Structure 1
Amino acid sequence: MVAPPATALTTPWPVTNHSTNIRIQGNDSPGHSHLGAGPSGLVAAKSLLHDQPRGTFHVTIFEAQDRLGGLWPSKKDDHAALVHPLMVANQSKHTVQFSDLAWPDDAPEFPRAWHIGRYLERYHDRYCRDAKLHLGERVLHSELLQPSDQSAEGAKWKVRTCGQDGQQVDHTFDYLLVASGFFGKPVIPPPVAASRHVPVVHSSQYRTLGALLKRATGVGHKIVVVGGQMSGVEIAGTVATHLSSAQHSPGPSPVQNVDKYSVHHVSQRPAWPASPAPPFLPMDLCSYNLANRTDNLTNMQGHVSTEAAKALHSIYETMLGTDQSDFSPNLAIANTDMGKPPYLAVSDTYADFVRTGLISVSYGKVDSLTGSTVTVTTARGEVSKINDVAAVVLATGFESASSISFLPSSVRETLSVLPFDLNNTVALAFHGTHHPAIPSLGFVGFYRSPYWGVMEMQARFVTALWAAGGPTSSSLPPKMAAALEKDDSIERTLTLRTDPQVSQFPMGDYPWLMQEFSRALEIERIPPLGKMPRVPPADKSMDILTPARYPAKRSTEAQRTEVTKSIQQTESTAWSGVSSARFVAKAVFRSLLGEWKLERDLVSRLPTHPSGHFSGTARFLLRERTRDGREAEHDAASERGDHVGLEYLYIEEGMFAASNGFSFRATRRYVWRYDERKDTLSVWFVKTDDQKRADYLFHQVEFIIPDTETEGASQAWRANAGHLCIDDFYDVDYRFNFKAVNLKDWSLAYRVKGPKKDYTIEGTYTR
């Protein structure tokens, strides 16, 4: 049984001629909380309180949870929220922000979920303290009260709420603003809803391997992930990372026979796992570079024609440098897929884990889960079975109908609410903000993408709409009235529900939506504060879209200070990514995962040490970072609530053929580490008595900025390092050759000089 909805924005204060009571409504369903005092609810409250003269609106926020943040926990150990507190956002802090609150200078480029929760607490404290906040109070139902003359403009909302003590209270409000979002209830397909032998969890509920597998009663070793869009690729990569770490970390594994486990990903069609292209800036800084698009933007989402789909696939292939067949034929975007709208996902590990075989992929639709067998049917009607299933993780999305189930049935009918429509369950005007037939009802955050700038624009639009008297008011500003006159959002939404060429994010692309909102609201996009670097493919100065580029018209001096700080942070990041080696260490680290073919020559200048050739393999085995050799640093990161990060156990094995005719099997091990806070890559010796444990630092990899005049457009990055081992000095030289975003090959050379040593080692690594 679905629990009643939660949260609201309401106010018990009396209505006067100069103020209006607003309720911001959030929602709740079993085990999950949704946006009420989350990003969309808070930015709505802030807009109502600050974008109009003080006292125009009185605001009350009802939130079913006992904390702010919605999806986002504010404590590093809060595991009750919909997202794991240590989950890394797949957009950078330059996108995950509102216009008038900059992130702290020491915030990571990609904040953790709990960092975002803290950001929202700061936002509330700065802008929403005049709102009356009811935490732990859910909305049971609402009723639209018509005035005696039956005019829609005069209708009020009667809302019944229930506190944690079970006491129910009725409230009456002038307006109702829904900020409950799309994450209403996890979708659990009936074919895999339950099993006595195999645990089935939604991806939002996955935390650890141990928790997933503890209910498994069978003997299977395949973890099946169902779902092929963002969350499907991400959770498959996450589970594979946990398996790899459980197998290759020091000490006993938390999972028995972990080396027998694997991930089987079932998707309806392939997606593009996106990564930042050289220069290795955060992906959103390049994706939202307005220099790559014309000034008068057109909508690239919604219906995508066959020709447009082919063009987009071609762009992604150019950016990634492959049709993905480099990783596996199973990941290749086939000709039959090129005419369909492309799907994008974000994962640092997914494609390389497919290459290693830890993730296997099949395409089709899951028909059933019987015992420990999952049956899949392809688009061509072919049936296949996945046997020996240990658990199923469903990345099947959410339906949002339950997020607004507190609304009267007549209102939901007007909004064309359809259960289990994953694209857009609510037919709303002007990009998800309202319905003209119910002028006292507004929406913020009903936008199926993670872009905070759109939430802020929606909040501003609803505020301006209500302040002017509603969508049919003669007091509407001319540009807003003109925007509403030509708006076809409701018709487009209804049409896209059955459109076979609907895009992954059908409500509209981010830059275009920001353009449409800013024009209707007459908000000028402020220009870059300084000179910006030129980057491909347009080879024009970057013009990066961030929420801070669109400050509110009534901004105070304090707000403008935050705007300036935020833009400066973005521009500084862009310059550091272009003019320095920032982010290169991370790009190299990401691309090392898996197995490489290694050929190495040793040339000795001393007759006492023979020369020779090594031929073998080098494996980079991903695992959670360990404390060994860096205990104080590790503990400090844990205390801060930072995710300690990942590292590789490096194992090379092969045959060494000496020039004197002898040959023998040789192996060596290191630990490779990437430090996100310092943006550094380092190599560590392993302990002789436990070769899964790091011992002490060998060297830190120092990247050298390429000389474009001599190296041209080469995508090679050189690096060097040095290490003194008693009397012997190791002079280390690296060369990393990228093909677009991925390492094509790389080389490592040592020059070793000491009293009894004088030799060089040159090795080449290829896939």
Structure 2
Amino acid sequence: MKSVCIIGSGPAGLVAAKTFLQSGQFKVTVYEKDDKIGGIWSFPKRSESDGYLSSRTPTNLSKFTVGFSDLSWRSLGTGESHVPMFPAAAQVGQYLELYRDRYVPSSTFKLQHRVVSADREKQDGGHRWKIVSETKVDGPEPAGDSTGANTKEETEYFDYVINAAGFFSKPSVSSRLIPPSKTVKEVHTSQFRELDDLFVERSSHAGKNILVYGGGNSAGEVASNIAFQLSSSQYSPNASIHNNRFEGVKVYHVTPRPLYAIPPYVPGDSANTFMPLDLKFYELKWRQPGPIVSSSGPLGPEAAAALYSAIHGIAGDQKDLGAEALVTTEETTPYATLSESYAEFVRSGLIIPIAGRVSGYKEQDASTVTAIVTTNDGTDTPIPNIAASVVANGYTPTAALSFLSSTTKLALEYDETSTRLPILLQNYQTLHPAVPDLGFIGFYEGPYWGVMEMQARLLAARWSGTEIPIHPDESLERLRSLRQAMRERRTDVPQYWFSDYIGYLEEISSALGLERNDPPFASAGVGPISPARYLASKDAHEEAVATMEDLKATLDDCAKGKFRARAAFRALQGLWQVERRIESKRVRMPSGTFVGTGTFHPRAPTEKGVDLEYLYIEEGDFTLLSGQKSPVSQRSVYRYIEATDTLSEWVVNPIDGIAVYRAHELQFGEMGGGGEEACTARATGLRAEDNYRTDYCFEFRAVALRGLEVMHEIQGDGGEYVSVTTYKRPGEDR
């Protein structure tokens, strides 16, 4: 029986171990440098600041994409527990632990064994891999220079090696432009958890600015996260002097290219329906009829235009956000940031995008610097009062290659200056022909779990004697050309060059002769892609069936209007112009007109079980029919709960902003026949003493709200009262 060494026990390492063990033809050993499995998804950490992710960080894609074929997320949830559509990082860690418990025996793992070298040596007319690992030994810590004193090295030999150490193995900070100093601290996105992580001192930073630079997904994510915490610090209950340390702070996001902000839920196939973004993007019906052929690398004009149109159909042209840096003037290959709130923070002015690249800085005073941004036309623009800087240049894979010998790296055509394509791999990014017994899983930008599972199956089949033809897109000559295009920053190179999720799963499944599991969908060409559609003979079919049932049920619920509450809640964020007309026959509620502003301020939920929360502040002037005018203001809280998909309004204490009781919950109307009817909701869940009726009409434009109308009517002995309130964005033509 051949032996396989797997380095790393994150998703790639676990699915590789399970796949090779399941084949029955390999003896498998998994090396893991930490004391638990899971990679970046391993929790709990020694402290919240450890690792690249907070335990609360949600996945970018839904649980139908973040998962393997034969373990449904249904298996993780028990009783009344709720697994959200976009699970938190700690829940992903729990999923991986369950996957290990079911499929990979504990004897397979060498935990706390860090691989320090992997050398390919000639042996018995062939080659074997010499793996040297370092592990801790028991005993007291020695005094003085104790380097290596409490560790020992172990050596073992294997027929094959799989590198599953992760493409995003180390934060990329090579372009750091503001050196660490007593003046301004600079951190990588992976180091940010709380606002105080960004600053040298825990003091007042009111009126200063935070710099974020980078043009990819992580830049938009961290800018949004910082903006959310700034908002929450100002509008949480009992805002104190401590919270006011960040009053007036802005986030300047420097990006070399426009970023399109894509929220978790995007428009569905019918008007006023919404669905998880990956279920929309990876719908099989969008592919051409016939066998699906994958593609990778630079996009041709037709493909770039199609992607541009698709992104525009979701995010719009973004001109309404008031940020020129986010608007394209031609149909170039689009870049996106997957973020719930980036667009609305830009609209509100809390995030200020600047087109260009940070080229330097100048000392300003004892606590700030001025950043110099070279814009795309070559002009230098200063950004003053920078008190903190965040590098959002992503990650480098160099750490995951450090244990390979220089000879092996040379054979892999390693280029340390090419962080996007450091080595050249064929067979769907699994191996190089010069080193056929060294495999890679998940070693590319943006690895998807379904693709990693297919890569593991592909390697197991190949090392068991199955010949897999080389894809035309993966000739070494073409890969070298792609690497050069990346160096030149050519605009036809997409954000993720190896990203044809549907194409790879379909092609590899066909090449390996995997069993299809398409029901309850009518055919293989209908519905979103899912790892659960493709099964090996020994896979747990009941788990795949459960995933497909849940996937179909989710789509059916979306078509019936589920997640409209989530989409409406998200789109309310920020500043609105408000006009309210009141016709009243009640003595203490006079007729008149209110004109002013209303702002939905995001803040951390103030009650357990609530997922999202706003403090709504309305200010303006009320004019009586007599012409008398007086200033008025009011506050309320809006909440969203995913488990019940409900949006509600709460009455608050005007002094401290704490929610006192629920005014009502919005019940969205029945879906019509797919026309352009409005998205409506009605107040429900009223208290026994309430005798009013409130109707909402949401006017969506893609993921944004163009406007909102609320009709509030009171009946009863005191006389009729009717108010009609219209909300529109500042500068919006109606």
- TM-score with structure 2 length normalisation? 0.90
Change (3 A) 1:450 1:584: farther
CA distance in 1, matches of 2:352, 2:596: 25
Q: Note if contact 1:226-1:395 (Cα within 8 Å) is conserved in structure 2.
A: yes
Q: Note if contact 1:38-1:71 (Cα within 8 Å) is conserved in structure 2.
A: yes
Q: Note if contact 1:291-1:541 (Cα within 8 Å) is conserved in structure 2.
A: yes
CA distance in 2, matches of 1:722, 1:755: 22
In the other structure, the counterpart of 2:366 is none
Aligned partner of residue 699 in structure 2, secondary structure: strand
Aligned partner of residue 45 in structure 1, secondary structure: helix
CA distance in 2, matches of 1:718, 1:764: 14
CA distance in 2, matches of 1:263, 1:319: 25
Q: Note if contact 1:201-1:392 (Cα within 8 Å) is conserved in structure 2.
A: yes
Q: Does 1:42 align with 2:14?
A: yes
Which moves more between the two structures, 450-459 or 360-369?
Answer: 360-369
Shift, 1:448, TM fit: 1.4
CA distance in 2, matches of 1:457, 1:528: 20
Pairing partner for 2:629 from 637, 659, 663:
663
Q: Note if contact 2:257-2:326 (Cα within 8 Å) is conserved in structure 1.
A: no
Per-residue Cα deviation, 1:345-404 (whole angstroms, up to 9, x for no partner): 111111111111000011111112343121111232111111111111111011112211
Shift, 1:624, TM fit: 0.4
Shift, 1:531, TM fit: 5.2
Pairing partner for 2:108 from 132, 138, 143:
132
Equivalent residues in 2 for 1:583-598, closer than 5 Å: 583-598=563-578
In the other structure, the counterpart of 1:391 is 388
Q: Note if contact 1:723-1:730 (Cα within 8 Å) is conserved in structure 2.
A: no
Change (3 A) 1:250 1:170: same
In the other structure, the counterpart of 1:363 is 355
CA distance in 1, matches of 2:685, 2:248: 39
Q: Note if contact 1:301-1:503 (Cα within 8 Å) is conserved in structure 2.
A: no
Change (3 A) 1:424 1:215: farther
Pairing partner for 1:174 from 155, 159, 176:
159
Pairing partner for 2:255 from 248, 252, 267:
267
In the other structure, the counterpart of 1:551 is 535
In the other structure, the counterpart of 1:24 is 6
Pairing partner for 2:196 from 210, 216, 229:
210
Shift, 1:257, TM fit: 3.1
CA distance in 2, matches of 1:261, 1:273: 22
In the other structure, the counterpart of 1:630 is none
Q: Note if contact 2:578-2:595 (Cα within 8 Å) is conserved in structure 1.
A: yes
Pairing partner for 1:437 from 434, 438, 441:
434
In the other structure, the counterpart of 1:675 is 641
| Amino acid aligned to 2:257 | R
CA distance in 2, matches of 1:662, 1:723: 36
In the other structure, the counterpart of 2:339 is 347
| Amino acid aligned to 2:598 | A
Unaligned runs of 5+ in 2: 138-150, 364-368, 730-734
| Amino acid aligned to 1:699 | H
Shift, 1:41, TM fit: 0.2
Shift, 1:726, TM fit: 7.1
Change (3 A) 1:753 1:197: same
| Amino acid aligned to 1:766 | K
CA distance in 2, matches of 1:561, 1:657: 65
Q: Note if contact 2:210-2:252 (Cα within 8 Å) is conserved in structure 1.
A: yes
Shift, 1:298, TM fit: 4.0
Per-residue Cα deviation, 1:227-267 (whole angstroms, up to 9, x for no partner): 11110111111110000000111122644432221100010
Shift, 1:311, TM fit: 3.2
Pairing partner for 1:334 from 322, 325, 328:
328
> What's the RMSD between the two structures over aligned residues?
2.2
| Amino acid aligned to 1:277 | P
Shift, 1:764, TM fit: 0.7
CA distance in 2, matches of 1:396, 1:727: 56
In the other structure, the counterpart of 1:516 is 507
Aligned partner of residue 434 in structure 2, secondary structure: coil
Change (3 A) 1:141 1:209: same
Shift, 1:424, TM fit: 1.8
Pairing partner for 1:733 from 685, 695, 709:
695
Shift, 1:193, TM fit: 4.2
Shift, 1:297, TM fit: 3.1
Shift, 1:164, TM fit: 2.2
CA distance in 2, matches of 1:57, 1:726: 68
Equivalent residues in 2 for 1:38-437, closer than 5 Å: 38-50=10-22, 52=23, 54=24, 56-75=25-44, 79-104=49-74, 105=77, 106-129=82-105, 132-147=108-123, 149=125, 154-165=126-137, 166-188=151-173, 189-215=175-201, 221-251=208-238, 252=240, 254-275=242-263, 276-278=266-268, 279-295=273-289, 296-299=291-294, 301-320=296-315, 322-336=316-330, 338=331, 340-371=332-363, 372-437=369-434
Change (3 A) 1:707 1:497: same
Change (3 A) 1:421 1:486: closer
Per-residue Cα deviation, 1:109-163 (whole angstroms, up to 9, x for no partner): 11000000000000001011165211111011121111254xxxx2001111110
| Amino acid aligned to 2:445 | R
Shift, 1:420, TM fit: 4.0
Q: Note if contact 1:267-1:362 (Cα within 8 Å) is conserved in structure 2.
A: yes
CA distance in 1, matches of 2:120, 2:685: 74
Q: Note if contact 2:664-2:686 (Cα within 8 Å) is conserved in structure 1.
A: no
CA distance in 2, matches of 1:608, 1:47: 73
Change (3 A) 1:74 1:402: closer
Change (3 A) 1:392 1:590: same
Shift, 1:495, TM fit: 1.4
Q: Does 1:490 align with 2:476?
A: yes
CA distance in 2, matches of 1:485, 1:452: 21
In the other structure, the counterpart of 1:753 is 715
CA distance in 2, matches of 1:399, 1:756: 69
Q: Note if contact 1:610-1:660 (Cα within 8 Å) is conserved in structure 2.
A: no
Q: Note if contact 2:635-2:652 (Cα within 8 Å) is conserved in structure 1.
A: yes
In the other structure, the counterpart of 2:562 is 582
| Amino acid aligned to 1:240 | A
Shift, 1:517, TM fit: 1.3
| Amino acid aligned to 2:43 | S
Which moves more between the two structures, 588-597 or 375-384?
Answer: 375-384
Q: Note if contact 2:517-2:545 (Cα within 8 Å) is conserved in structure 1.
A: no
Q: Note if contact 2:665-2:685 (Cα within 8 Å) is conserved in structure 1.
A: no
Shift, 1:79, TM fit: 4.2
CA distance in 1, matches of 2:475, 2:506: 15
In the other structure, the counterpart of 2:142 is none
CA distance in 2, matches of 1:348, 1:90: 10
Change (3 A) 1:70 1:651: same
Q: Note if contact 2:233-2:244 (Cα within 8 Å) is conserved in structure 1.
A: no
CA distance in 1, matches of 2:690, 2:203: 56
CA distance in 1, matches of 2:600, 2:587: 34
In the other structure, the counterpart of 2:145 is none
| Amino acid aligned to 2:535 | P
Aligned partner of residue 562 in structure 2, secondary structure: coil
CA distance in 1, matches of 2:48, 2:352: 33
Change (3 A) 1:236 1:82: same
CA distance in 1, matches of 2:525, 2:580: 43
CA distance in 1, matches of 2:594, 2:569: 24
Shift, 1:21, TM fit: 1.4
CA distance in 2, matches of 1:332, 1:649: 27
Aligned partner of residue 439 in structure 2, secondary structure: strand
Q: Note if contact 1:225-1:236 (Cα within 8 Å) is conserved in structure 2.
A: yes
In the other structure, the counterpart of 2:664 is 699
Shift, 1:645, TM fit: 2.9
